[in-house]
C-alpha cells in the first residue's frame, strides 16, 4: 500500500486559527526617556526604605519551590483588606486579563454571548473572540452614560451569559448611575446570566459596588466583582482578584491554571498590603492631582476634559478630524507619552486619554499642551 499523500499545505501556520493570524499583537508604546502617562499606572515608586525591606523579603523567598501556603496567606490578606462579604469567595488571577479569559472559558456553552457597553475595556471583546463566543457591544450615549434602553433591548434579545460593567469605565473614567446598574443586574439575573463589575480603578473612585453587595446580597447573587493591584501601585506584578458567591466562584476557579501567581508576585502583594497606608496616601495624592489637572485643562482653548472617577482623564480636542493625532504627536515630541484613543470608537473621535501623574509630571504635560496650542 502506498503511504498517505502529503497535504498540499505544509506551512507551520497550517493549524493556527485564521482569525488569530489576522489579529495584531498588543502593542506597548516605547516609553524610555518619556513622561509616561499612557497606561494608568501609579506614578509613585516605593519609598527607599520600603524598597530595601522588600528586597530583603524577596531575597528570602524559596524561588526553587512552586507557590504554596503563601498564596493562601495572600488570599486571606485580600479578604481582610476588602472585608469580604459573608458567603463570598476570592480567587487570584495573573492580572484581571486572566480572570476575564477564565470567565469566557467557563461560560462557553452553545450560543453563549458576552455583552458590554462601548467604548470600554478591549479585553471583554478579545476574550469572547478568542473563546469563539459572540460579542455584543452596546454604544454609550454621547455623554458616555449607559444607554439603558439600548442595553435592556440587547439583553432581552441576546440573553448574554456575561454582561460587563466597568465601574468606573475605561477609557471614559466615569461611574454610571447605580439605579441603572441595579435594573440591568435584575434583568440579567432573571434568566440566569452573570454581571461582572470591573473595579480596576477602585482606589480612585468615589463609590464601590462592593457596598451594594453587602447591603443587598440576594439582589447581587449573580454578580462577580473584579479588582486589580495594578492601579493600587503594583502594575508590574500582574495580580488581579475576583469576588463572588462561593458556589459560583468555585466553578470558575476550576479553570485556573495551577501556580498562576508566582511566589515573588505573591510576596510583593503581601508586602504592599502590610503597608497599605503608603499606597492609600499615594492614591489620595493622585485623586487630588486629578482635580488640579482637570481644572487646568478646562482653562485651555479648544480642549474639553471629562470628569473622572479614575486615575485618568479623557480629553477631547476641537478642530480637524486629526486634531487628537496632532496633539498626540506634539506631546510625544515634548517627551510626554499619552494614549490616543480617537480611533477606538466613533464616540471617542478626537479624544486622548491622559493618566494622572505626579505633580511634576502633570506640570510637564500642561506645559507641553500649552506649547502645542501656540503652534500654528
pLDDT at 320 over 80: yes
Residue with cell 510626554: 336
Residue at which a domain ends, from 274, 305, 331: 274
What pLDDT is recorded for position 136?
98
Q: Are residues 236 and 261 in the same domain?
A: yes
C-alpha cell at 185: 443586574
The answer as to whether 361 is a domain residue is: yes
Write the CATH number for 207.
3.40.640.10
Average pLDDT over residues 107-122: 96
Region 294-315: what's the mean pLDDT? 96
Q: What is the mean pLDDT of the chain?
A: 94
Same domain flag for 197 and 304:
no
Phi/psi of residue 19, each to 5°?
A: -65, -30
The answer to whether residue 53 is domain-embedded is no
Say if residue 207 is in the same domain as residue 253. Answer: yes
Whether residue 70 has pLDDT greater than 80: yes
As beta bridge partners, residue 355 has: 312
Which tens digits make up the pLDDT trace of 219-242?
999 999 999 988 888 888 899 999
Residues 163 and 115 sit within 8 Å (Cβ to Cβ): yes
Number of domains present in the structure of the chain: 2
Pairing of strands 303-305, 312-317: antiparallel
Query: Do the domain assignments include residue 334?
Result: yes
Same domain, 242 and 312: no
Q: Does residue 6 form part of some domain?
A: no
Interval 17-43: pLDDT, tens: 998 898 888 878 888 889 999 999 999
Per-residue burial over 123-136, b if 16 or more Cβ lie within 10 Å, else e, is: bbbbbbbbbebebb
Q: Are 111 and 179 in the same domain?
A: yes
Whether 320 and 367 map to the same domain: the answer is yes
Pair (250, 289) in one structural domain: no
Q: Is residue 338 part of a domain?
A: yes
**Lowest-confidence pick of 17-26, 251-260, 270-279:** 17-26
Residues 114 and 129 in one domain: yes
| 4 in a structural domain | no
How much of the chain exceeds pLDDT 90, in percent? 87
What single DSSP character describes residue 351?
E
Domain finish residue from 234, 258, 274: 274
- Looking at the structure, tell me whether residues 191 and 322 fall in a common domain: no
Residue after which a domain boundary falls, among 246, 274, 302: 274
Q: Is 322 found in the same domain as 203? A: no
95 and 40 in a single domain? The answer is: no
What is the average per-residue pLDDT within 32-58? 94
Asked if residue 11 is part of any domain, the answer here is no
The residues, any chain, with a CB within 8 Å of residue 34's CB and separated by 6 or more, are 332, 335, 336, 337
Residue 54: inside a domain: no
Q: What is the pLDDT of residue 29?
A: 83
Question: Residue 97: is its pLDDT beyond 70?
Answer: yes
Q: Which residue segment(s) compose the domain that 105 sits in?
A: 63-274
The domain that contains 327 carries what CATH number?
Answer: 3.90.1150.10
Amino acid at each position: 500500500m502506498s503511504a498517505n499523500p502529503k497535504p498540499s499545505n505544509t506551512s507551520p501556520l497550517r493549524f493556527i486559527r485564521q482569525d488569530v493570524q489576522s489579529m495584531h499583537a498588543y502593542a506597548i508604546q516605547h516609553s524610555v526617556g518619556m513622561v509616561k502617562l499612557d497606561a494608568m499606572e501609579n506614578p509613585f515608586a516605593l519609598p527607599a526604605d520600603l524598597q530595601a525591606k522588600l528586597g530583603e523579603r524577596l531575597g528570602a523567598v524559596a524561588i526553587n519551590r512552586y507557590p504554596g501556603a503563601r498564596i493562601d496567606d495572600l488570599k486571606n490578606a485580600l479578604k481582610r483588606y476588602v472585608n469580604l462579604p459573608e458567603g463570598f469567595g476570592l480567587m487570584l488571577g495573573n492580572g484581571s486579563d486572566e480572570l476575564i479569559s477564565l470567565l469566557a472559558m467557563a461560560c462557553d456553552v452553545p450560543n453563549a454571548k458576552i455583552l458590554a457597553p462601548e467604548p470600554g475595556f478591549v479585553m471583554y471583546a478579545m476574550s469572547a473572540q478568542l473563546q469563539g463566543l459572540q460579542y455584543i457591544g452596546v454604544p454609550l450615549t454621547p455623554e458616555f452614560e449607559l444607554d439603558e434602553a439600548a442595553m435592556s433591548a440587547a439583553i432581552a434579545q441576546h440573553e448574554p451569559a456575561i454582561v460587563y460593567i466597568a465601574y468606573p469605565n475605561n477609557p471614559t473614567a466615569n461611574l454610571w448611575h447605580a439605579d441603572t446598574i441595579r435594573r440591568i443586574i435584575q434583568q440579567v439575573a432573571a434568566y440566569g446570566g452573570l454581571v461582572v463589575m470591573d473595579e480596576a480603578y477602585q482606589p480612585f473612585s468615589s463609590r464601590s459596588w462592593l457596598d451594594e453587595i453587602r447591603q443587598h446580597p440576594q439582589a447581587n447573587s449573580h454578580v462577580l466583582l473584579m479588582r486589580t493591584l495594578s492601579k493600587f501601585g503594583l502594575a508590574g506584578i500582574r495580580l488581579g482578584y475576583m469576588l463572588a458567591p462561593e458556589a459560583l466562584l468555585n466553578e470558575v476557579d476550576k479553570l485556573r491554571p495551577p501556580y498562576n501567581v508566582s511566589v515573588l508576585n505573591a510576596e510583593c502583594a503581601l508586602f504592599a498590603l502590610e503597608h497599605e497606608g503608603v499606597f492609600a496616601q499615594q492614591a489620595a495624592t493622585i485623586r487630588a492631582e486629578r482635580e488640579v489637572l482637570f481644572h487646568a485643562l478646562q482653562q485651555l482653548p479648544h480642549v474639553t476634559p471629562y470628569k473622572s472617577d479614575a486615575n485618568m482623564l479623557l480629553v477631547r480636542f476641537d478642530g480637524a478630524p486629526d486634531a487628537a493625532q496632532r496633539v498626540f504627536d506634539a506631546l510625544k515630541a515634548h517627551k510626554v507619552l499619552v494614549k490616543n484613543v480617537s480611533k477606538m470608537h466613533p464616540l471617542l473621535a478626537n479624544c486622548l486619554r491622559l493618566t494622572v501623574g505626579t505633580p511634576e509630571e502633570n506640570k510637564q504635560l500642561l506645559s507641553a499642551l500649552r506649547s502645542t496650542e501656540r503652534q500654528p
